[in-house]
Structure 1
Amino acid sequence: MPQFDFGTVFIPQVAWLAIIFAVLYFGVVRLTLPKVGKVMQAREDQVASDLDTAEKAKASADRLAADYDAGVAAAQEAARASLTASRVKSAKAIEKKLAKANEKLAAEAEAAEAALSAARARAMGEIEGVAADAAADIVEKLTGKRPAGAQANAAARSALA
């Protein structure tokens, strides 16, 4: 093989090697590398732009989340205040109704107590009358003489008291 015969063709082979190397080197460096560099720079710019956009979107989302949380907290506080006001209003209404019911019950209890006292007084009067009649009948059977009505009433009243 002539390319391995270094004695006769070494200089022309080195010359051709240098020419082909130079063509390939300058072809790659001058033609390909600038295109690759441009692509890499464009990708780097795009990634940086995307990162900036993502950071802005995240900041916006965080702001919206904070606003939402604040709105929810405000709504909850308003609901609590409304609930407290309703409870107070209901408690006052119930207290008024209870006061009216207590007044009515007190009046009814007073009327019932008065009716009971009147019934007790009537019953005691009737019991005294029956006791006086019974005592007068007993005294009449034992002694043969009937005591006076006032005397029998007084005796029955003192015995029942």
Structure 2
Amino acid sequence: MPQFDFATFVPQLAWLTAFFAILYFGIVRFTLPKLGRVMTAREDQVTGDIATAERAKAEADNIQAAYDEGIAEARERARATLADSKAQVGRSVEARLAAAGEEVDARLKTAEAALEQARAKAMTSIESIAAEASADIVERFTGKRPTPSVAAKAAKAAVAAH
């Protein structure tokens, strides 16, 4: 192998040193500064992006808080509207119930008056029937029929006693 030949070893070492120095200083002088600028630019961009993301997050949090507050206010307004509607419906129902109660009371009074008339008529009818029946009974037992006024008076007294 020619690399291990001592006659060519020193020139190979010199060329190796020369190429190493050219490559090293070429990289250090030209490539590293460009690489440093790219890395600095990327670091600045990432830092700016992080700051922008933090500002956007803070703004989104503010928007979310405002949205939640708006929803809470809307719910409270809806509850208040619902309570007002319930109260209004309750008053309406109470008014209708009062009107219906008055109508029922009027009907009840009319029915009671009609019932009292029917009762009075029935009592009159019962008294006249009782007077005729008692007159018939007295006539069967005694053979003499009492006068209608006496029979009516006796029947009225008997009905009043019960």
TM over 0.5: yes
For 1:118 and 1:85, the matched residues in 2 are separated by: 49
Count of residue correspondences: 160
Structure 1 residue 38 and structure 2 residue 37: aligned?
yes
Q: Which residue of 1 aligns with 2:5?
A: 5
Separation (CA, whole Å) in 2 of partners of 1:126 and 1:13: 156
Structure 1 partner of 2:87: 88
Q: Residue 134 of structure 1: CA displacement?
A: 1.7
Match of 1:95, as an amino acid? E
RMSD, aligned CA: 1.6
Moved more, 134-143 or 113-122: 134-143
Cα drift, residue 2 of structure 1:
4.9
Displacement of 1:110: 1.1
Task: Give the whole-Å Cα distance in 1 for the aligned partners of 2:26 and 2:32.
Answer: 9
Q: Percent identity?
A: 56
Work out whether 1:99 is the aligned partner of 2:98: yes
Q: Which residue of 2 aligns with 1:19?
A: 18
1:151 and 1:88 mapped to 2: Cα distance? 69
Counterpart-to-counterpart distance in 2, 1:139 and 1:2:
173
Deviations 1:77-100 (A, max 9, x none): 101110000000110111011011
Shift of 1:151: 2.4
The offset of 1:9, in angstroms, is 4.5
Give TM-score, length-normalised by structure 2: 0.90
Rounded to whole Å, the distance in 1 between the matches of 2:79 and 2:113 is 50
- Secondary structure of 1:66's match? helix
Per the alignment, residue 144 of structure 2 pairs with 145
Normalised TM-score (structure 1): 0.90
- Residues of 1 paired with 2:152 and 2:38: CA distance? 133
Q: Distance in 1 between matches of 2:154 and 2:2?
A: 170
Other-structure match for 2:46: 47
